[in-house]
Amino acid sequence: MKRTAFFLLAFSLLFLPACRASQPYRNDLSAQRLAEIGAEAAAMEEAQAANAEELADMIGTEAELPDMVVYYSANGNSLDEFGIWRTDGDAVKTVVPILRSYLDKTYENNRAYYDSYIPRETSKLRDAEIRVYGSYVVYAVLSAESRARFFAAIEENLAVN
């Protein structure tokens, strides 16, 4: 009996991640509003919003830009950065690889420079994280502590209560 109960419990735990992923999220917040919430939580120094040219350069498109906001630190000693990309439906699946490619290239192409001048910052880029919240794809290049606060704030504001 105990063994059966154990296996039933273990089996049901397998579905938890899927449940988390399918947890409904709001989709009515603009990327800008969510970015403001995230910026406050991350307490980013000298936060600056990327302009249209910078965004287009990041995601490699000359087409109309999506509902996307990126904040980065204008302080040359900090690699702090995060981005909110609001999309819908299946488009989410195409966004994650675009952002992953951007983060990986930024890390690989500039590692020598960062390791040389701001070595304590390189790990933020190396450990950059991308998360999907329904219609929102969110990435963060932040310290572990800031990243935790940042994603907690995003989750709190997007979760449907």
Partner 1 sequence: MKPIVAFFKTVPTVLLLLALLLTLPISADGVFTERSENGGTAYRNRLFFFGESTTAHLRSRGVLEGGTSTDRVIAARSGTMMLNRRTPSAHVVEPRSGKEMTVTEAVAALRPEILVLSFGLNGIVGFLSAKESYTEPYRALIRSVRKASPETVVILQTVYPVANDPSEWKFHQSPAEINRGIERLNGWLPEIAASEGAFLADTASVLRDGDGFLRKDYSADGIHLTREGYEQVLLYLETHMAEVPE
Beta carbon nearer to partner 1, 115 or 156: 115
Q: Which stretch binds partner 1 (CB under 8 A): 33-41, 73-81, 85-93, 125-133?
A: 73-81
32 belongs to the binding site for partner 1 (CB under 8 A)? no
Are 96 and 83 in contact, with CB atoms under 8 Å apart? no
Using CB under 8 A, which of 4, 18, 53, 161 touches partner 1? 53
Provide the minimum distance between the beta carbon of 51 and partner 1 in the complex, in angstroms, as a whole number: 7
Beta carbon nearer to partner 1, 40 or 57: 57
Q: How many CB atoms lie within 10 A of CB 108?
A: 11
54 belongs to the binding site for partner 1 (CB under 8 A)? yes
Are 114 and 99 in contact, with CB atoms under 8 Å apart? no
Q: Which stretch binds partner 1 (CB under 8 A): 14-22, 46-54, 84-92, 137-145?
A: 46-54
Q: What is the binding site for partner 1 (CB under 8 A)?
A: 46, 48, 50-51, 53-54, 57, 72, 74-77, 105, 108-113, 115-118
